[in-house]
Amino acid sequence: MEKIELLAPAGSMESLFAAINKGCDAVYLGGNKFSARAYASNFDNDNMIKAVDYAHSYGVKVYVTINTILKENEIEEAVKYAGFLYEIGVDAILIQDLGLCKRIKEDFPKMVLHASTQMTIHNGEGAMFFKERGFTRIVLSRELSLEEIKYISKDLEIETEIFVHGALCISYSGQCLMSSMIGGRSGNRGKCAQPCRMEYTLKGNVLGEKKAHLLSPKDICTIDDMKEIIDSGTSSLKIEGRMKRAEYVAGVVDNYRKSIDEVLYNKNFDSNKGKRELLQLFNREGFSKAFLIKDTGKDMMSYNSPKNTGVPLGRVESNGEIIIQDELSLGDGIRYRDDGGPVSKIILNGEEVESANIGDRVKIFPINYKKGDELFKSLNKKLYDELEDYTKPYIKKIGVNAKVIFKIGEPLGILIKYNGKDYEFFGETVQKAEKRPLDKERIIESMQKVGETQFKFNKITFECYEEGFLRIADLNTLRRDAFEGLKKAICKSFRRKRPEKTIAKEVNYSNESVELLYQCITKPQLKALVECECTDITVDLFSRDKEALRDKDIKILVEENKNINIYLKIPNVIKSEFNQVIKVIEKVKPYIKGIVTVNVGIINKYKDELYIVGDYKLNIINSEALKFYQDIIDTPTLSIELNRKEIKAITKASKGNIQSIIYGKTELMISEYCPIGSTFGGKSSCKDCNIACSKDEFVLIDRMNEKLRVMTDLYCRSYILNPLPINIIAEVDELKNFGVNSFRVEFRDETYLEVKRVIGMVKGIEEIDNNLYTKGHYRRGIE
């Protein structure tokens, strides 16, 4: 069985030390800009060099994240930063922005690129698309099953990386605009405010309502599935947690290292103990396996609390005592309801004690809890204290063998063989012994001292020894100089010089455009569009709406309306149903002019066959990303996270077709998890959904009483829509002046009359009541 990479988060230097001390093979970290964890400590340039050198001296790889989308005025700075990372020897850069990908491939063609999970790569065609465009590794979406991972990794022979532990986004990464639209903090820019962790009410028109933290998933833990994961053929196992404490990193890496080594090398590992330790480090009402085995509905969610719940400690009895279910010590953290804090005093059998054991009946102070409250131990102080030792540098030592030259009249020499290379270091001249000579044992004793370094001598032999003399201080100095020299030599071997820039490839612009494209889901919407003589219409055949369009409707539409151009809206996410979607496309292909999609798997398959409009979740916010897609598809759509000044800056630097959304309810989330199916539908580990979404219409109601429509598709994915539609119809002339030449009006849950009203606005015969709509980011933009 091949070795597999254990990849650890390093949100700080202490986390880096912890990860390496506990046995990771690689770390991923961010600089102080352009990282998807903008609120982690991250590394400035000086500390980045130190981190890279420290890791490389241990044989640990370093991957740096530039995994956010980049504004027009940031691209050059990001490319310059990539050049800095290239020079200092970073092993790979993890990116999301395809404009940056384009520029790195032009300026640093040998730089290894990893495709971030923010790129939403979730099927084989999509993975192949990015491999063919220069990505060495694909970080797969967290929603994939083991079989899907195996197909991409083994059958297609693509190097992949998967998340195995830590927090889980409920939306597909790279497809979430909820934080962005609510408060301007974009998840695509590393500044997510985590609205998914808030409490919501899911309300149906008929079936009633349910209130909970309906979008808050449990963290994933796959330590029990290590053999199957390794058998999948994936190359790297990633631990999430750049925002977590260094002690957390130490504990998680330690347990996954042991679990991997149990599978690969038959080493002993108590997985139950490991799981218990992981639960104590952090969990939200336990763990889930995400979608690795199956979609478990409500069982993967933390409906009661989005915070760390710890492990059960016991229920408060009428006299205020608790029979504890876990060991407890002073300083441990406890939680009950939404309160908690450190334990300041423990009373056992009427006496104050420092700790108590499982089964003991105790009183715990401070007493802010009540009879019947269930207590949880949210922090294990002893565990964290033990792990804290590993957050310091040089705890882990690399053993090397050395030969010593101790010859009178010549410099003291140390010969080290490391990783197949020979290194020589020399110190002071060995003197003739006037009294007692320095014997071998004393030399070895001095040389085997350990200090603030990553190295130690395992075995010392003598190439040459004569009974001479040298001060012990001189031996110590040479030992330190040798280790420092060895480290510098290792680090220097990773340094690179910037290459000559290559000439950018000319973009193959499409010579055909569509000026105004309407998009619909339901039969009443389509009826309104036809009656209003709209000539370019996109239809979505994959919705589960009660009045959703189907393939037979397209055939009838084309036969009755020869002057209408039909485009097919393809789902953003297509997993195991990929071939089913292909069948639908092929079935309606004679009747359609093109497709609208962000799914790169579909783009890869049909880029030479159909007219392709790239949807707004391609996340294009700079001219280089626009050129990347203009070279592949006919008309890319700009991200709705752009403001007018940013659109102007992009279009000024661009040619070719550019589309903008001028009306529509923004898709805030797309999720493999369905809040309707997991509540009203009863979906769980052992029960299938009853398709409640087809029996009623549902909205999510947030704490501000905003109502967010929840829709589903035929493959049981859920879509959460912004409560107000974007409406920048009045800005069309301004956008045209900027250089936008294609516009789209997108209908999701609008009625027949609402569709007609919006068409009237587009045609200038209906007034726009701005109180009913939002300009989105057109005026404000994102951070």
Rounded average pLDDT per 10-residue block, the chain, 783 residues: 90 97 97 71 90 97 96 96 97 97 95 97 97 97 97 98 97 96 93 95 97 97 97 98 96 98 96 96 96 94 94 94 96 90 94 95 91 94 96 95 95 94 95 91 92 92 94 95 95 93 87 96 98 97 96 92 95 96 96 97 95 98 97 97 96 94 98 97 95 96 96 97 98 97 98 98 96 96 87
Long-range contact list for 694-697, CB < 8 A, 24+ apart?
694/544, 694/546, 695/206, 695/207, 696/204, 696/205, 696/206, 696/207, 697/204, 697/205, 697/749
Residues pairing with 713 in the sheet: 543
Helix axes 551-560, 578-588, angle to 10 degrees: 20
For residues 362 and 319, give the distance between their C-alpha atoms in angstroms, rounded to a whole number: 10
Residue 25 has a pLDDT of: 98
Q: Class of the 311-391 domain?
A: mainly beta
Residue whose entry in the numeric block shows the structure tokens 């980049």: 70
CA distances from 639 to 120, 199, 265, 477, 749 (A): 15, 28, 48, 59, 21
The residues near 139 (Cβ < 8 Å, ≥ 6 apart) are 94, 114, 115, 116, 117, 119, 121, 160, 161, 162, 238
**Residue of 112, 67, 65, 232 lying closest to 162 (CA atoms):** 232
Amino acid at 341: G
Give the CATH H-level superfamily of domain 516-666+724-772: Aldolase class I (3.20.20.70)
In a 3-state reduction of DSSP, which class is residue 87?
Answer: helix
CA distances from 316 to 88, 321, 322, 325, 552 (A): 57, 6, 5, 12, 63
Residue 500 has a pLDDT of: 83
Q: How many CA atoms lie within 13 A of 612 on its CB side?
A: 26
For residues 711 and 542, give the distance between their C-alpha atoms in angstroms, rounded to a whole number: 11
What pTM did the predictor assign?
0.95
Amino acid at 109: P
In 10 A of CB 392, how many CB atoms? 12
For residues 598 and 101, give the distance between their C-alpha atoms in angstroms, rounded to a whole number: 17
Residue 366: asked if its preceding bond is cis (omega within 30°), the reply is yes
In a 3-state reduction of DSSP, which class is residue 457?
Answer: strand
Angle at CA of residue 415, ends 412 and 421, nearest 5°: 155
For residues 259 and 271, give the distance between their C-alpha atoms in angstroms, rounded to a whole number: 7
The residues near 149 (Cβ < 8 Å, ≥ 6 apart) are 140, 160, 162, 232, 233, 234
- DSSP for residue 346: E
Residue whose entry in the numeric block shows the structure tokens 């808030």: 198
Residue whose entry in the numeric block shows the structure tokens 């040479």: 478
Number of helices and strands (H, E) in the chain?
22, 41
For residues 401 and 461, give the distance between their C-alpha atoms in angstroms, rounded to a whole number: 8
DSSP assignment of 652-703: HT--S--EEEEEE--EEEEESS-HHHHHTT--BTTB----GGGTS-EEEE-T
Domain with CATH 2.40.30.10 in the chain: 311-391
For residues 109 and 133, give the distance between their C-alpha atoms in angstroms, rounded to a whole number: 11
CA distances from 209 to 112, 212, 706 (A): 50, 10, 15
Residue whose entry in the numeric block shows the structure tokens 């192949």: 128
For residues 51 and 62, give the distance between their C-alpha atoms in angstroms, rounded to a whole number: 8
The residues near 712 (Cβ < 8 Å, ≥ 6 apart) are 543, 544, 674, 676, 677, 693, 718, 719
For residues 612 and 595, give the distance between their C-alpha atoms in angstroms, rounded to a whole number: 5
Domain with CATH 3.20.20.70 in the chain: 5-183+215-270, 516-666+724-772
Answer left, alpha or beta for residue 691, where phi above 0 means left and psi between -120 and 50 means alpha.
left
The residues near 202 (Cβ < 8 Å, ≥ 6 apart) are 209, 210, 211, 214, 675, 676, 679, 680, 698, 699, 700, 701, 710
Q: Which two tokens stand for residue 752?
A: 């027949």
Amino acid at 113: L
Q: Class of the 5-183+215-270 domain?
A: alpha beta
**Residue of 231, 236, 241, 228 lying closest to 292 (CA atoms):** 228
